[in-house]
Structures are given as structure tokens and as C-alpha cells.
Structure 1
Amino acid sequence: MKSLKLFLLTLFIGASQLHAQAKVESIIYKFHPHYMTTDIGQTVAGTYLIEGKKQPVIEINADGTGIIQLANLSKKKITWGIECSDEGIPIFKEGYDSSSYTFWYKITGTGEWLYTQFLIIPGKKKMYLMGDRVKYYGETQVKNEEE
């Protein structure tokens, strides 16, 4: 009976630790290791557009994949992540009314990782990618599609 309790306790603790850890991927950029995750405590997944336009689009999936539409409107598949520590803790710079992260992405079929800014502005309920692509989030979102 004691060994069954010990086994169940060990199983529970192990499962809790596995569930609590963020998935971390390691990449090398200019001879330096960088770590990235898709979990930063906010839902990054979604569609990012230039305000008032329907194209070009960036579609980000929660599993670290997505699509980026280039200036010539061709769509390319990407792999992406947000820079974090080797333990999976997101690295960000906190501003007056925003948090800035480093967004890493690689176009499928290329070996080169690229990076850009990912900005969250909680007061406006907006997330910015590449400076001009925006996604609205939150329950208080008020967006008039007819504008």
C-alpha cells in the first residue's frame, strides 16, 4: 500500500512538472544561442494586419507555425517563437504603457532566422508585429469594421 501511494505521488509530481514547463527551442544566430517559446502568458496566435487593410497578412498559430505575406503578396510558411531564457521565461522590456519582446521567425525552406519587434499595449488592447501589423485582443475590444 505504501509503495502504491509513493508511486502515485511520484507520478503526480512528475506530471505537474511536465505540464508547468514551457516548450523551449534553441537556435543559433551569428554564433550565439537564443531560446524561444510560443507561450508568453498572452495569446499571440491570430491574424495581424496593417490597420485599415486586408493584405498583407501575418497569421500566427499557437503551435509555432504560421504564414507571412510579403510585400509582393506571396504567402510563405514560417516557424516562429518569442525570445526567452533557457528555462522558458519570456524576455521583454517594459515601457510606460507597453511590453516589447523579440519575435523570431524563419521562412520554411530557408535556414536563416530573422527577428523583429513584438509589442503589446494593454491599454489599447493591441499587439503589434513588425511595427505596423496589429491584432486586437480582449473583451473590451471595440472595432468598427465599417470605418
Structure 2
Amino acid sequence: MSKVLNYVLYKNKTYGFLLQIPTWWKRHVFVVEEHCMKEAQLCINFHLKYRRPIKGITHTNIFQIVVFRNSKKQWMKDYGDSPFIFLRARNGLVFAAIHPGEPPEEFLNPDGMDYNRKLLEFKRLSRMINKDLPVLLKSFRFIPN
């Protein structure tokens, strides 16, 4: 019996890496590359699109892959105790991931004391970060030269 693939490949040709993204993300996620940190060469942002605007906002960040121009040794010294998750290093570049520590403010109830956990986008984001992301990050691979 053949195993059904439950992921699609995200391929970054510029930096030569692959990620296995859960298939169910395909309709809900878009990717934006931008310069986001002075210390980083590039940030690759994976965003969750909302079905409709929530408090005027249309999407939120799920996670980022940040490309640092650094040796692994120096990066570990600078960021080893930070929220960044080291993925891999190659050719003087370090690839790390980071995700928000809290859901976005637009998910807060009107009283601002707790999140609207019934909101579909809250449920999706929670599943993406808590269940899918650890597996996804382990799938990070360089494309063979």
C-alpha cells in the first residue's frame, strides 16, 4: 500500500532549501520575503490569511525563516539562548525560525482579557504553531547542489 502524501513542498530557489508544508495549509497561507532585521539577510514570512478581516486586519504571521550571514558558531553565541530555533547552516549562512509567542491582538475578546478561542482563525493558528510547525521545521533540507 502506498502512503498518501499529506504535504506539499515549499522550495526556495534563492537559498536552496525545501520545507514540507501540510497540504491543508495551501488554501490558508501566503509567503512574503522581506528584509526584517538589521542582522539578517532576509526573512521569509509565512502568513495565515483570514476568511474576512478581523478588526480590520486580514492576516497574521505564523512563522518566519530568517537567513543570517554568520557562522554557526557566532550565531550560537549571539542567538543560542533566544527564541530563534536553529535549523541549519551552509556557506556562511545560518537558517533559523521564529514564531510569535502569543496570538495576535485581533483575536482578543472585547474585554481584552482572553482570546476568542472559538474563532476559526484562532484554532487554525494554534494547530499550525503547536502541532504542525515542529514537524514542518524538522523537514527543512538543503537542495543538493
TM-score using structure 2 length: 0.30
Structure showing greater relative contact order (alpha-carbon pairs closer than 8 Å, 6 or more residues apart):
2
Give the greater-gyration-radius structure (CA).
1
TM superposition score normalised by structure 1: 0.30
